Amino acid sequence: ALRRYSSISTCPTTSTAALAFDMDGVLIRGGRAIPSAHRALQKLKGDNPLNREIPFIILTNSGGESEASKAHKLTQKLGIEIHPSQIVLSHSPMRHLAPQYKNKLVHVVGPDECKNVAQSYGFSDVVTSKEMKAFDKSMWPYRSVGDEVDDTQCPYDLSQTPISATLIFHDPIDWGLDIQLITDTLASQSGLITTRQPSRPYSQSTPLYSSNADFQWSNEWPWPRYGQGAFVTALNAVWKRLSGNPLVIEKQFGKPSSPTYEFAEKMLSAAAGVEVKKVYMVGDNPDSDIAGANLHGWVGILVKSGVYRDGMPLTKKNKPQVIVQDVGEAVDWVLRQEG
Ligand code: G3P
Ligand code: MG
């Protein structure tokens, strides 16, 4: 990772400080670059009064595609070359789960592309909600637009092959279908969805993993949109009523969780080529970006171009070191600290 990063750099880094940028609401909003983002990243590539490069990564709770695909899109939008090794998506650290599910079937929840991403992480047997629905149409007796031309087949005999884990890879599209299928799996006997535990309260038959806990996130709409955290809230309500037990997440990934920040620290040190001693996190979501930064000893910089608005209450947990207008001001603030 170090060599690949260096090959795209304009001048070498001696920095033991580094930056992690949130994406939605900091670099991008509604599919477009935030106006000051290009210049801010250019400064980190060496065009700054310190005359040295400061390594950075993009640490986002977004996903549903590969790191390479996200890097390509961001390079186009930001006009700055972003390498896949600079991208940490919500599901990136989930690659570490792949060895324990070798030759076991896992249900990956999220847009279709998540199946390819999971396979690229080393998950050998993956089934999507769309494929599960195709196993037997009576499992989900409701129709969506496009179903009549959809020829998806289920590659597994789900009456014989148990589901060993459910991984919410990215924000689900069809909440109703996904809640039905996930609770079917959890209430089954050992993950065989054609079975059900003999009596309530049901325990969770297989582990459930979530890639991000964001209740809301910011796009071009004036008010934040529901994210995976909102989906899990709905799932929990349905599961509690069905099973008599609260929902248990085996491991939570994504900001502000530890597995994600630890994964990001390794990526940053690899990018810098030295152990990074100080990390600045530029984020728009106090509960996600800043809470995680505070928990992991990073310096939190909150911008006003996304979820956070002036006057929103902040607690000790999610209070940043500084609040600035946007990513341009954030980078200038970092350069002053490092000067
Ligand atoms: O689904 C994406 C969203 O939850 C947040 O993305 O870049 O603000 O962490 P980001
Ligand atoms: Mg954000």
Answer yes or no: CATH 3.30.70.330 is held by domain 92-252. no
Provide the pLDDT for residue 7: 34
CA of 258 to the centre of ligand 1 (A): 17
- Is 64 within 8 Å of 171 (Cβ atoms)? yes
The closest residue, in CA terms, to atom 2 on ligand 1 is 62
Enter the tokens of residue 71.
């890097």
DSSP label of 286: I
CA of 25 to the centre of ligand 2 (A): 5
CA of 171 to the centre of ligand 2 (A): 14
The closest residue, in CA terms, to atom 1 on ligand 1 is 62
Binding-site residues, ligand 1, Cβ < 6 A: 22-25, 60-62, 171, 212, 214, 217, 227, 285
Mutation choice for ligand 1 from 288, 290, 303, CB with most ligand atoms inside 8 A: 288
CA of 307 to the centre of ligand 1 (A): 10
DSSP output for 74-120: HHHHHSS---GGGEE-TTGGGGGGGGGGTTSEEEEESSTTHHHHHHH
What length does the chain have?
A: 339
Provide the pLDDT for residue 6: 36
Name residues whose C-beta falls within 8 Å of residue 291's C-beta, 6 or more positions apart in sequence. Answer: 255, 256, 317, 318
CA of 218 to the centre of ligand 2 (A): 6
Q: Is the dihedral of CA 168, 174, 179, 185 positive or negative?
A: negative
Enter the tokens of residue 43.
């400064």
Spell 231-243 as b/e; 16+ CB within 10 A means b: bbeebeebbeebb
Provide the pLDDT for residue 15: 63
CA 65 from chain center: how many Å?
Answer: 10
Mutation choice for ligand 1 from 22, 58, 60, 67, CB with most ligand atoms inside 8 A: 60
pLDDT per residue, tens digit, the chain (339 aa), is: 223 333 334 444 556 899 999 999 999 998 999 999 999 999 999 889 988 999 999 999 999 999 999 999 999 999 999 999 999 999 999 999 999 999 999 999 999 999 999 999 999 999 999 999 999 999 999 988 788 888 999 999 999 999 999 999 999 989 999 999 999 999 999 999 999 999 999 999 999 999 999 999 888 898 999 999 999 999 999 999 999 999 999 999 999 999 999 999 999 988 888 888 899 999 999 999 999 999 999 999 999 999 999 999 999 999 999 999 999 999 999 999 998
Domain edges within the chain: 2-89+256-338, 92-252
User: Which amino acid is it at 96?
Assistant: H
Counting ligands in written order, the one closest to the CA of 90 is 1
Domain at 2-89+256-338: CATH architecture: 3-Layer(aba) Sandwich (3.40)
Least Cα distance to 28 among 171, 216, 219 occurs for 219
The closest residue, in CA terms, to atom 8 on ligand 1 is 24
The atom of ligand 1 lying closest to the CA of 227 is 4
Provide the pLDDT for residue 13: 52
d(CA 243, CA 211): 23
Strands, DSSP E only, in the chain? Answer: 17-21, 28-29, 32-33, 56-59, 87-88, 105-109, 125-128, 163-168, 208-210, 216-217, 225-226, 251-252, 278-283, 299-303, 322-324
For 297, half-sphere exposure in the C-beta direction (CA atoms, 13 angstrom radius) is 6
CA of 61 to the centre of ligand 1 (A): 4
Name residues whose C-beta falls within 8 Å of residue 270's C-beta, 6 or more positions apart in sequence. Answer: 1, 2, 5, 85
Q: Do domains 2-89+256-338 and 92-252 have the same CATH topology?
A: yes
